[in-house]
């Protein structure tokens, strides 16, 4: 065998190994397309590997450029995001990391990023009836420093706009549950229920109402969806208002007075119903 020929062979063996390694990190359907093409090549040529290389470069660029980081985030969070950029896509649908869902979205924590979670829009059609993901993310950005009586909303970390894979945004993970989850899965939430039983519900209601009233008056924003599933409580008894997917800024010509009244009435009723249910639970 001529020497130059064996070098080419060694080169292709190396390239083939590298090709299969990189396939393993691609989503299944995409990897299968490339594998099939490779395995059906009449002759293995450099052209194929060059094309595959280019594809990987473009894909990485597309994934990176679609992730827009918020400016005001700490170095610690920035590092966490750097470490998980690639898993943002892959985590969607992984039951091990599922945190909660609603009508339009599913929320997952990210492996190896203890402070982050990602809201993925899965029902884009239904979501389109409400706010664009950027609008929802911008409300959180505006409320970054907004805390009233200890009540606040999650800090926003990044937006990922991706027309084919779906939009998502990253935010602070709240170490708690939404109020409906607590009532629906009581046995998973014994400690939270025990903690909630010790709270003064009138104070909780007053604090949440103070947050929402100030949201209306100071920030000129109405929430529009203040049901139990959009109120979270953490292990320390701190409350959070989440999900600004139906929120609106006060604009001339809109019935903001009506929206304000609905926010207050919904919140008051939801907190009352929630604590009545908590009181009835037989957990000490
Ligand atoms: N920052 C967070 N930290 C932890 N869990 C969260 C966070 N944000 C959302 N979740 C969980 O994910 C669930 C779904 O999120 P969200 O309410 O934003 O989605 P949605 O589809 O817009 O809901 P809806 O049906 O109310 O419109 C929440 O009810 C909550 O349980
Ligand atoms: Mg919700």
Map the chain to HEC letters: CCHHHHHHHHHHHHHHHHHHHHHHCCCHHHHHHHHHHHHCCCCCCHHHHHHHHHHHHHHHHHHHHCEEECCCCCHHHHHHHHHHCCHHHHHCCCHHHEEEECCCEEEEEECCEEEEEEEEECCHHHHHCCCCHHHHHHHHHHCCCCCECCEECCCEEEEECCCCCCCEEEEECCCEEEHHHHHHCHHHHHHHHHHHHCCCHHHHHHHHHHHHHHHHHCCCEECCCCCHHHEEEECCCCEEECCCCCCEECCCCCCHHHHHHHHHHHHHHHHHHHHHHHHHCCCC
Residue range 109-116: average pLDDT?
A: 88
Residue range 207-221: average pLDDT?
A: 97
Report pLDDT for 5.
46
Q: 100 CA to middle of ligand 1, Å?
A: 6
Report pLDDT for 3.
45
Q: Domain end: 106, 138, 172, which one? A: 172
Q: 72 CA to middle of ligand 2, Å?
A: 25
Q: 189 CA to middle of ligand 2, Å?
A: 19
Q: Domain end: 172, 195, 213, which one? A: 172
The domain in which residue 161 lies consists of 67-172
Report pLDDT for 64.
55
Report which ligand 1 atom has the smallest distance to the Cα of 103.
25
Q: Domain end: 120, 149, 172, which one? A: 172
Number of domains in the chain: 3
Q: 255 CA to middle of ligand 2, Å?
A: 23
Assess whether the C-beta atom of 131 lies below 6 angstroms from ligand 1. no
| CATH number of the structural domain spanning residue 260 | 1.10.510.10
* Averaged pLDDT of the chain: 88
Assess whether the C-beta atom of 114 lies below 6 angstroms from ligand 1. no
**Quick one: 181 and 268 in the same domain?**
yes
**Quick one: 235 and 144 in the same domain?**
no
Q: Is the pLDDT of residue 9 over 80?
A: no
Residue nearest to atom 26 of ligand 1 (CA): 102
Report pLDDT for 108.
93
Highest mean pLDDT among 58-62, 73-77, 120-124, 272-276: 272-276
Report pLDDT for 136.
93
Model confidence at 109, pLDDT cuts 50, 70, 90, reads very high
Residue range 243-271: average pLDDT?
A: 93
Report pLDDT for 95.
83
Task: Please report, rounded to a whole number, the percentage of residues in the chain having pLDDT higher than 70.
Answer: 90
Assess whether the C-beta atom of 221 lies below 6 angstroms from ligand 1. no
Assess whether the C-beta atom of 241 lies below 6 angstroms from ligand 1. no
**Quick one: 74 and 103 in the same domain?**
yes
Q: Is the pLDDT of residue 197 over 70?
A: yes
**Quick one: 115 and 46 in the same domain?**
no
Model confidence at 284, pLDDT cuts 50, 70, 90, reads low
Model confidence at 65, pLDDT cuts 50, 70, 90, reads low
Q: Is the pLDDT of residue 234 over 80?
A: yes
């Amino acid at each position: 065998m001529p020497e130059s020929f064996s070098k080419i062979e060694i080169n292709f063996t190396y390239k083939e190994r590298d090709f299969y390694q990189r396939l393993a990190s691609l989503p299944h359907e995409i990897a299968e397309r490339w594998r099939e093409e490779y395995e059906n090549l009449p002759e293995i040529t450099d052209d194929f590997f060059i094309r595959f290389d280019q594809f990987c470069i473009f894909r990485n660029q597309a994934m990176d450029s679609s992730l827009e980081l918020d400016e005001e985030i700490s170095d610690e969070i920035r590092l966490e995001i750097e470490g998980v950029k690639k898993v943002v896509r892959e985590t969607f649908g992984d039951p091990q990391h599922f945190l909660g869902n609603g009508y339009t979205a599913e929320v997952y924590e990210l492996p190896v990023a203890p402070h982050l979670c990602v809201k993925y829009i899965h029902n884009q059609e239904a979501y389109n009836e409400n706010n664009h993901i950027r609008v929802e993310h911008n409300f959180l950005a505006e409320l970054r420093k907004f805390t009233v009586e200890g009540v606040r909303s999650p800090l926003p970390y990044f937006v990922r706009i991706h027309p084919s894979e779906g939009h998502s945004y990253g935010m602070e993970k709240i170490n708690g549950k939404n109020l409906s989850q607590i009532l629906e899965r009581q046995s998973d939430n014994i400690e939270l229920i025990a903690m909630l039983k010790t709270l003064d519900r009138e104070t909780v209601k007053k604090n949440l109402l103070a947050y929402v009233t100030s949201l209306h008056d100071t920030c000129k924003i109405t929430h529009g969806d203040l049901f139990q599933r959009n109120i979270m409580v953490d292990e320390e008894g701190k409350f959070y208002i989440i999900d600004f997917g139906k929120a609106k800024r006060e604009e001339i010509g809109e019935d903001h007075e009506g929206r304000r009244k609905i926010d207050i009435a919904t919140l008051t009723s939801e907190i009352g119903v929630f604590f009545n249910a908590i009181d009835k639970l037989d957990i000490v």
